Amino acid sequence: MAREYKEVEGMGWTPNRPVAPLHKAQLALFLIVTGTQTVTHAQNAPAPAPAVSLVPVATGLAHPWAVAFLPGGQFLVTERPGRLRVVSATGQVGPALAGVPPVAAGGQGGLLDVVTDNDFARTRRIYFCFAEPAAGGTAGNSAAVARATLSADASRLQDMRIIFSQRPKVESALHFGCRIAQASDGNLFVALGERYHRKDDAQKLDNHHGKVIRITPDGAAPPDNPYVKQPGALPEIWSYGHRNPQGATMGPDGKLWMHEHGPQGGDEINLPQPGRNYGWPVITYGENYGGGKMGEGTARAGMEQPLHQWTPSIAPSGMAFLTSTRYGTAWQGSLFVGSLKFGTLHRLEVAGGKVQKEERLLQGNGERIRDVRQGPDGLLYLLTDSPQGRLLRLQPAAAP
């Protein structure tokens, strides 16, 4: 007998019944790294893992999705229902900022990523991504990117302008993607989902579904984008064949790193290169929900292999390189990725274009990790996704 399935973000696909709430496991004062998984053989014994604790910075956030850092130790946090808030250095959650545009809040849609401009200290400019409803009350929505100036008193957005809208708009509450990373030249990379029901669009260049785009701070396509001069292709496209990106960051190498959800298995880390095809839905390490082959297999000529993949899925979300030595030198240079499915924080050692080792931190945490960022203080900050979400700091037990 056929069974209906529905997607619960970060939980895979489950029989169409209510999903039990996640158990909120009590956090120990000090959480020691456990569950080391060696991906390739290391030459030397691993350095002792640092002792860390999870310190709550702010609580009571409604499905927080992204955190950015403001001067004076303040934080800028998006809430998926459509609110942008400033959190003080002492953890006080401020009122919703004025000037945020209407969002299509529902399912996986709403107010999503936010980043501050590289020159924020001078410009006070921010960029944010959201699910944009179709104009005039018509059906459909899409991911969109806006820029704005944060007022001097941090109470409102000024000069807000939508600089990019994903085309076409469709009726879906799934797979917006919508992570932003700003390169050193000021251009923006935006990782966009394929909207689930439009997965075949990820292989076509006449739409923005399942694409990484590259735009200027004004929303224009830079002249050196790979498809600027190709008839029928959208000029903003940087790479294609992506599924549902949930993490993006500029690496210490100055290159874009991102990860995306697979279907049932096959979550991927990719390094999007201009004009390259990353395979979805033709190749994947995952399978159909409920079982069965998806696409043609795991490889095809002309399609890129992921740098790393997770099977079974961890439902990755958030992504940051640790450049500081606040946790000692053993973690410096590591890539950190959150898990919605398991509530774990994954530390990956990357060298020679490969993941050399993976460690799973915070096992037993029980909270969906939505975002991972390194703060100006060199420490890692996490957001947990729930109606009473939290902003957390990963605190080293002792200064190195």
Query: Cβ distance 264 to 288 under 8 Å?
Result: yes
Name the strand (E) or helix (H) holding 372: strand 369-374
Q: What is the spatial distance between Cα 205 and Cα 359, in angstroms, rounded to a whole number?
A: 37
Q: What is the spatial distance between Cα 10 and Cα 381, in angstroms, rounded to a whole number?
A: 20
Strand partners, 212: 191, 239
Helices (H) and strands (E) in the chain, counts: 1, 26
- Helix, strand, coil percentages, rounded to 5, for the chain: 5, 45, 55
Q: Which residues are catalytic?
A: 175
Amino acid at 56: P
- Label each residue of 242-289 as H, E or C: CCEEEEEEECCCCCEEEEEECCECCEEEECCCCCCECCCCCECCCECC
The closest alpha carbon to 77, from 366, 189, 90, 63, belongs to: 63
The closest alpha carbon to 390, from 74, 59, 81, belongs to: 59
By DSSP bridging, strand 34-38 and strand 13-15 are: unpaired
